[in-house]
Structure 1
Amino acid sequence: MRTGLLWSCLLLSLGTGCTSRYPPLNPAPGLPPPVRLDFKPPVDRLLTESVRATRTLQREGQREVRDEAAFTTETRFTPSDGGWRVTQSVRTPRQAHDGQDVPSLSGAVLERFTLRLQLAADGTFVKLVGAEAAQEALRQVAPEATGVPGLPEVERFFSPEALEIRTRREWEAKYAGLLQRNLVEGQRTWAVDSVDVNGQERAFILERTVQGTRLTAFGDAVVMTLQCLDALPPKAPAELRAAWAEAGSPELAKGLTCEGEQVVTWARFIPVRRLLKVKAVEAGTTLTLTTESQAEALQEEGP
């Protein structure tokens, strides 16, 4: 792990376009009836999630290095501007290196500002709101010219432009192509994501396959398995090619693999669980990054 830096795919768990990207699909004969995953989040109720990650780095001829990060997020969805304003705060961030707790500059920043993003009515990402608040929080934690180790890197991480790009990418990696459509067993959807390997962002296509439904503590949910594609298939579906093109047609990291599961309730939008294990091998270095988020509680309705 980079010193004092939590991974972007954990920090912001939750276009400009305001309509659903893909039309609903009709089920093929003989398949179970579809489940429509509409974007209907709980209104002004606090959703608490636990978020954790483990990152192992193995360089040829060297011992394995293991880093861990964990924190709790509190998220609220409020109707705003014809869509939704999402606010998210972080509590009790913890970071460890080879089993020993270490100070986390980025964790201290996260505790001092609230992430705010604007979504369209259908759940499409629109923009980040007040991204400058992260830099102000950083100045409170580490005033200029303090010589804090890792400060320049964290400054770049929390710059408004980088924060906007990362937030959009992470939201779309989780939900693009899923919301406001009918989903049937065996159906696949795609999104483009990336992981840092040796200081370089390596892109991959995340493929989600609908496995069916499951009853959870938060209601009936759609269950999807996750895997990575390191190249476009020779006969890639048009939807896959469109997702890749909309992400800028990035070069895909060869040999990158992943596996995981995503569970989202469909009567109302609650991200129940998401587990993703990514493995990348490059130039004698093997990186394994396991990230998991789990819904813990939803605030009850007031009187």
Structure 2
Amino acid sequence: MRSGLLWCCLVLSLTSACRKAPPLRVPIPEVTPRVRVSFQPPVDRVLTESQRASRMVEKGGTGVREEVELTTESRFTPSAGGWLLTQGVTHARQTRAGVEVESWVDDVLKRFMLRVQLAADGAFVKLVSPESAGEAVRQSVPPGVDAGPLERFFQPEVLEARTRREWEAKFGGLFQRYVSEGQRTWVVDVLPVGDTQVAYVLERTVQGTRDTEYGDAVVLSLRCLDALPEEAPDALTDAWVVAGRPELTPGVTCQGEQVVAYGRFVPVSRELTVKAQVDGAMWTLTMESRAQGLQEEAR
């Protein structure tokens, strides 16, 4: 959920996909206290989130900043022994160098409902009816306008790979288990940058817990590894191997924080800034999401 930014990264990467296994878990260290992060999503509630993604490209002393702001509404319903996450966009806004940009992408996002089948423990299973994104494209783009980039971007297999990657980068290996301060998990993540992509290992470290308006939450710090350390833990090496031994991008760095309510699952907030030097240009990608409200669904 976008979770995540299930939508913002999709929009920004239109001008710029990859599937991997979920991260391997690290044995729980003998540290107390421990908390159990359950996947018990809010049923009969509408979760409203604000989402923002920005991209700054600097080269030769000049830079251009693009930004996407979205408001999403998410619902969880029991389905197939697990959960169905349905997420829609209610507001979309894009700017370039501070000037608002009109785009057919906004109309597509507002027409298309993202449906994700999750297992009982919160693991990503599949997208449900991903082909409906193509129908949204056909309904939004007027005749005579080249819809090729949008159609390729929203191809079912491409959309599913991106959605899976984002969900697992945020939540893989977190639910239905005890965590304690200092515990780490790793997952290989990829972001589109221009005509290529940067790959890195995202390391999540449990910092502790925090009181929020959505209940007690676990706090994770986020950072990137651009190479495996010489004495890497087995779990870190295994995560890289399972992901297909991708070539990691030298020099990529990132920092951020993620806050997830446990007991009743609510993605309270997430901030991640990734920096990478690609083809002589410095790319700075910032992704933010924040829960804005959890309201009882109108009947």
Same fold (TM over 0.5): yes
Aligned partner letter, 1:33:
P
Secondary structure class of the residue paired with 1:52:
strand
Q: Secondary structure at the match of 2:218?
A: strand
- Counterpart position of 1:32: 32
Matches within 5 A, 1:73-222: 73-143=72-142, 146-148=144-146, 151-222=147-218
Aligned match of 1:255 in 228, 251, 255? 251
2:245 equivalent to 1:246: no
1:65-96 CA distances to partner (integer Å, 9 max, x unpaired)? 01110010101111100011110000110000
- Equivalent residue letter for 1:74: E
Deviation per CA, 1:84-138: give whole Å up to 9, x if none.
1110000110000000000122221110010001011001111111001100000
Secondary structure, counterpart of 1:64 in structure 2: strand
The offset of 1:7, in angstroms, is: 2.1
Aligned-residue offset at 1:179: 1.3
CA contact 2:186–2:202 (8 Å) conserved in 1 = yes
The match for 2:4 is none
Residue of structure 1 aligned with 2:266, choices 265, 270, 287: 270
**Matched-pair contact (CA < 8 Å) for 1:273–1:295:** yes
State the Cα distance separating 1:294 from its structure 2 match. Answer: 0.1
Query: 2-side partners of 1:201 and 1:21: how far apart?
Result: 20
The secondary structure found in structure 2 opposite 1:78 is: strand
**Per-residue deviation at 1:296?**
0.5
User: 1:22 & 1:286 partners in 2: Cα distance?
Assistant: 31
* Aligned with residue 235 of structure 1, among 225, 228, 231: 231
Which deviates more from structure 2 when the two are superposed, residues 129-138 or residues 61-70? 61-70
The alpha carbon displacement at 1:282 in A equals 2.1
Q: Deviations over 1:160-185 (max 9, x none)?
A: 11001101111001011111111110
SS in 2 for 1:172: helix
More strand, by proportion: 2
SS at match of 2:232: coil
Alpha-carbon separation, structure 1, partners of 2:295 and 2:243: 35
TM-score (norm 2): 0.90
- Separation in 2, partners of 1:244, 1:106: 34
Distance 2:162 2:297 in 1: 32
1:27/1:302 CA distance change after superposition, 3 Å: farther
Letter matched to residue 264 of structure 1:
V
Identity percentage over the alignment?
54
CA contact (8 A) 2:20 2:243 kept: no
SS of equivalent residue, structure 1 residue 137? helix
Which runs of structure 2 are paired with 1:283-294 in the superposition (5 Å)?
283-294=279-290
Bigger mean CA deviation after superposition, 187-196 or 68-77: 187-196
On the 8 A contact 2:46/2:74 being kept in 1, the answer is: yes
TM-score by length of 1: 0.89
The residue aligned with 1:58 is 58
Cα separation, partners in 2 of 1:295 and 1:91, compared to 1, 3 Å: same
Deviation at 1:301, TM superposition (A): 7.2
Structure 2 counterpart of 1:225, one-letter code: S
Q: Which residue of 2 aligns with 1:49?
A: 49
By relative contact order (CA 8 Å, sep 6+), the higher-ranking structure is: 2
| Paired residue secondary structure (1:182) | strand
Is 1:6–1:107's contact at 8 Å kept on the other side of the alignment?
Answer: no
Judged with a 3 Å threshold, the aligned counterparts in structure 2 of structure 1 residues 301 and 112 are, in CA distance, closer, same or farther, namely closer
Query: How large is the Cα RMSD of the aligned pairs?
Result: 2.3
Question: How far, CA to CA, are the matches of 2:85 and 2:55 in structure 1?
Answer: 28
1:287-302 equivalence runs, <5 A: 287-300=283-296
Return the letter of the residue paired with 2:98.
G
What residue ranges of structure 2 are gaps of 5+ in the alignment?
A: 1-6, 14-18
Cα gap change, 1:33/1:57 in structure 2, threshold over 3 Å: closer, same or farther? same
Query: Number of matched residues?
Result: 288
**Separation in 2, partners of 1:278, 1:229:** 11
Runs of 4+ more than 6 Å apart: none
Secondary structure at 2:62 match in 1: coil
The residue aligned with 2:9 is 7
